[in-house]
Structure 1
Amino acid sequence: MDADQEVVAAWEALREHWLIPTTGNKPSRFLFYNFLRLTLGPTFRFLLRLRIRGEHHIPRKGGVILAANHLSHVDPIMVILASRRTTHYLAKDGHFEKLGTRFVMKSTGQIETQRESGGLDALSSAADVLDQGRALGIFPEGTRSKRTEAPFLLPGKTGVARLAASYPECVVVPIAMTGTRAMMEPQKHKLPRLHKRVTIQSGEGVTWFQWLTDVNGGNQSATSLKALAEKGEHEIRSELAALYRGFTDQLMGSILALGAP
């Protein structure tokens, strides 16, 4: 086995400790979502004052995690417009309560999560998307920033790292958005101000395996991973948690470096 295969095998030996199980829900075709994206997407990109940069970093097919900063209700739409992918987001169950919004959310492939069910169920729903080779949009901050002045970027939560670790060959693309807060500021604007300039900057993506073995990332080797597998349950989970935190912090650093306010 070459070095990469040894790392893959060593990581796989830890599978029971990092695997996020899927819900088992079968994939849908989301024909209406694809229709809207292909017909209205170009129109919105033309009419809105969008500056889209680095879109070549987003894979055209296969599972991908699009990780962006979160400033406004319009953020998911902006990422979808920039990615040109059928991108799925997790959404709180409150968005599915009214018939009209429920139709929009369901028909565009957004995924309902129950507030009382906890984070693991949400991650399992996200794993469904990646398991089907689709694009998953995620805001690592976990919520919109409530800050009233810059810097708005919050520390990232490690769910994005756990997903990356469960799909270690899936690319995670950092995305920085500026201007979406001015377009539709939370608690202030009921409708988006479409004349406002929005910039969406995508950066170079990285897979979990690439980060894990990079000396400036996880700095792990097949040998160190095999040694980790020999440790007790508590030590394994503690060291994995440290890796998740390191991945998340570096991802947030990339989003900041791309220009997130």
Structure 2
Amino acid sequence: MEHSKEVEKGWLQLKEHWEILPYPPTVSSTPAYSVLRMFLSPLLRPLLRWRVRGAGNIPRTGATILAANHLSHVDPIAVIAAARRTTHYLAKDGHFSKPMVRFLMNATGQIETQREKGGNEALASAATVLASGKALGIFPEGTRSKRTEEPFLLPGKTGVARLAAAYPEARVVPLAVRGSRQFMTPQEHKLPRLWRPLSVNAGVSVSWYSWLGHQSGGNHSFESLSALAGLEAHEIRAELSRLYRKFTDQLMGSLKALGAP
């Protein structure tokens, strides 16, 4: 889906209201990641009953947001395997407390965040990944679903939309993960059950720019965005909040349509 250059110009008029500056400014290199993938992938692939559909929808380069549903601790690994490229996740600082786990988290490019510092710090860390032209893994639900019956999918939080809006040329790819809870159920299975099937369905990607100008998306034009830029700050914030919510709800609808349970 292509975007209009006029819509792009209109959106940039509002930059002070949606900009998220990256911090830290760059993503740390992950030389150990390639080594781990080189040796572990050939060993694990014959043992796993994993299927990836729509892998061609995942860009191999450039700023990308991989948005998936979340049912198990294995979900980030499933997304990374489906992406076939280094994918960075935000992880709470508790995961970095043990030396071996810290090594694995750093080796695979995961970014330590401290929850007590709030959502803005996490968004700035996520922005670092996108500003560097890399792939960011994100769970729009904001947490792992603890529902015991379907539908497991929770309402999405608008952080994913704020990041897409702040890096409007980044591709947002919906990824429906199925079978991960049976593969490794939190608080029940200490080890993954490798014989259990798991699938990842990747949908068609969309950028904020293309969504913003589409009739079924943001439905904005250069004229409407210019008019919006001339309003009071609180009116601009209200419209941006509406757009973030609509984008997020449509993304969650895409996850459901792709088979997210």
Distance 1:54 1:142, change over 3 A: same
What is aligned with 2:85?
Answer: 85
Alignment of 1:158-197 (within 5 A): 158-197=158-197
Q: Aligned AA for 2:21?
A: P
What is aligned with 2:15?
Answer: 15
Q: CA deviation at 1:24?
A: 3.5
Q: CA deviation at 1:45?
A: 3.1
**SS of corresponding position for 1:199:** strand
Q: CA RMSD in A?
A: 1.1
Query: Unpaired runs of 5+ in structure 1?
Result: none
What is aligned with 2:255?
Answer: 255
- Conserved? CA contact 1:37–1:86, under 8 Å: no
Distance 1:252 1:26, change over 3 A: same
Normalised by the size of structure 2, how large is the TM-score?
0.97
User: Which structure 1 residue ranges, 4+ long, deviate > 3 Å from structure 2?
Assistant: none
Q: Count the aligned residue pairs.
A: 259
Alignment of 1:222-241 (within 5 A): 222-241=222-241
Whole-angstrom CA distance in 1 between matches of 2:95 and 2:227: 46
What is aligned with 2:125?
Answer: 125
Whole-angstrom CA distance in 1 between matches of 2:39 and 2:61: 19
Distance 1:13 1:104, change over 3 A: same
1:26-68 deviation per Cα after TM superposition (whole angstroms, max 9, x unaligned): 3322110122123323443332000110000001111100000
Distance 1:220 1:45, change over 3 A: farther
Give the fraction of aligned pairs with identical amino acids, expressed as a percent: 62
What is aligned with 1:142?
Answer: 142
Whole-angstrom CA distance in 2 between matches of 1:71 and 1:105: 20
**SS of corresponding position for 1:218:** coil
Q: CA deviation at 1:107?
A: 1.4
**SS of corresponding position for 1:244:** helix
Q: CA deviation at 1:159?
A: 0.4
What is aligned with 2:52?
Answer: 52
Alignment of 1:197-216 (within 5 A): 197-216=197-216
1:201-227 deviation per Cα after TM superposition (whole angstroms, max 9, x unaligned): 000000001110110111011111001
Normalised by the size of structure 1, how large is the TM-score?
0.97
Q: Aligned AA for 2:223?
A: T
Query: Unpaired runs of 5+ in structure 2?
Result: none
- Conserved? CA contact 1:160–1:248, under 8 Å: yes
**SS of corresponding position for 1:89:** strand
- Conserved? CA contact 1:24–1:128, under 8 Å: yes
Q: CA deviation at 1:128?
A: 0.3
What is aligned with 1:107?
Answer: 107
**SS of corresponding position for 1:112:** strand
